[in-house]
Structures are given as C-alpha cells and as structure tokens.
Amino acid sequence: MSSVRARLRSRSPRLSLPGSTCLVTGASGGLGATIARRLHREGARLVVSGRRVDELTSLAAELGDGTAVVAADLARLEDVRRLARDSGGVDILVANAGLPANGELADLSVDDIARAVDINVRSTLVLTRLLVPRMLDQGAGHVLLIGSLAGLAPTPRSSVYNASKFALRGFGHALREELRGTGVGVSLVSPTFVSDTGMWADTGVRAAHREATPGQVAEACVSAIRKNRAEVLVAPPDQRLGVRLAGLFPELMQPALRSSVVPPEAVAAQKSKR
C-alpha cells in the first residue's frame, strides 16, 4: 500500500503559487478581477487579459509587483495566439473569459452563437494548447478552467451556454487524464449563479436559490490549484446534488431545475454582452 501511495505522490503536480506566473483571462472586470486579486495575495505574478484596456490597466496598477497587461479579444484567433506569445512564461492558466449567450435558440443570431462558441470554447482550447508545452517541458504547471453548474445541468433558455460549458467540462476532465503523471494539473471550478459581480450579477436579477459569492469562487480556485482537484462545485449541497442527478436523469430532473432557469428579464439584460 505504501508503494502505491508513493507512486501516486510522484504523479501529482508540484506547483507553488508564490512566484508562479499566472495568466487570468476575462480579467477586465467581474469575477476575473476577483480571482486575479486572490492569486496575487498568494504571491503569484499576474498577467491579466481582457478587452477593456482601461480596466486592465487600473487592475494592474492596483496589484503592482510587475503585473502585466495583454489586451485581447478572444473571439479573434489571432488575438489568442498573440496573448499566448506576449504573456511570456505562463505557469498557471486561469481560463475565465466567457459570454452568457443565454436566450432561446431561435432568438439568437448566428453571429451570437459563433462568438459565444469562439470565446467560451475555442479560445480556451487553443490557448491551453499553446501554453501547455512549456508546462510539460518544465514538469510543472496548472490549467484552471472556470466552468459552471450549467455544464452539468441543462435548462431552457440556456442551450448555447449549456453547450459551451458542457464542452469545456468534457475538455477539462479529458485533458486532466491526458496529462496525468506529467506534473501538469488540470482543474475545473464550476459555480452556481455568482452574486455581486460578473455577468449574472450585472443583470440586476437575483436567482431563485442561493448564489455563490465571488470570494467563494476565488477561494475555490486557490484550493483547486494547490490540491490539484479535478472539479470544485461552488454551490450549496442541495444544488451540487441536484446537478449531479441532472447529469444522470436530465429529463426527470427538469422540474427540480426550474429555479435555475434564466428568467427573460435577465436574458434581456445580457443582450449587450453577447
């Protein structure tokens, strides 16, 4: 038994947050900025990215300690490549950038769908592909994907967003196994609706069930990296159980998931963010 434990320990990623270079996408506001601040408190050097340069510059000035800014629109493949190149030696990727893409499918334009898939899925896959080789070469690193309970439980008016988060979750778990034993860890942090800041909070609508706080999500990120956890669901126990059951019985669980359906007024408020 002790030899088995020794082999498992030897396969575990060995990464220290203090001194590591951490790229956080979608950091120009909301949840990304909160995560960046939390990682900075752990002693990580930050590279922050997003579309809004003024917000990124302000965050970098707040964090100091050599925080770098790389503005990028992740719907543009050339920007994804440039972000990977200009970020320097990244030890930890926090793939946080995303769009809500909520609404009934017939009400979404083809451009809305393409942009959501490009940012929520393609940019993360490509950016991970471009950054992982260096992590493999040094035998240490971490890829942290910000998922969602929407990646486990499908609900109406979220079909495109569900699709993007289901894809991201499948990618993360498969990549984790692919990289097992290399020293590079992969984790998902999947929250419920997040209060106070971010794309849900910006709607001004409150969920019909308990929400997570940005601080809880940021703490989950630190825990996931430190312990190389496969997935952390940031939600109360009843919601965690509900989404697990929804994965097994998606049709039977729909009545129980009604409190998680994005209301029309929230969909309307998110239109400008598509």
Provide the token pair at 216.
């809880």
Phi-psi category of residue 30: left, alpha or beta, with phi > 0 → left and psi -120 to 50 → alpha:
left
Q: Label each residue of 77-99 as H, E or C.
A: HHHHHHHHHHCCCCCEEEECCCC
How many CB atoms are located within 10 Å of the residue 38 CB? Answer: 19
User: Cα–Cα distance between 126 and 119 in angstroms, integer?
Assistant: 10
User: Cα–Cα distance between 224 and 22 in angstroms, integer?
Assistant: 14
User: Cα–Cα distance between 211 and 135 in angstroms, integer?
Assistant: 35
161 tagged catalytic = yes
Q: Would you say 141 and 183 are in contact if contact means Cβ atoms under 8 Å apart?
A: yes
Residue 39 has, within 13 A of its CA and on its CB side, a CA count of 33
Residue 122 has, within 13 A of its CA and on its CB side, a CA count of 16
Which residue do the tokens 């510059």 mark?
57
- For residue 19, give the nearest of 87, 82, 86, 89 by alpha carbon: 89
Provide the token pair at 222.
């630190």
Active-site position among 46, 74, 161, 274: 161
How many CB atoms are located within 10 Å of the residue 85 CB? Answer: 10
Q: Which residues are catalytic?
A: 161
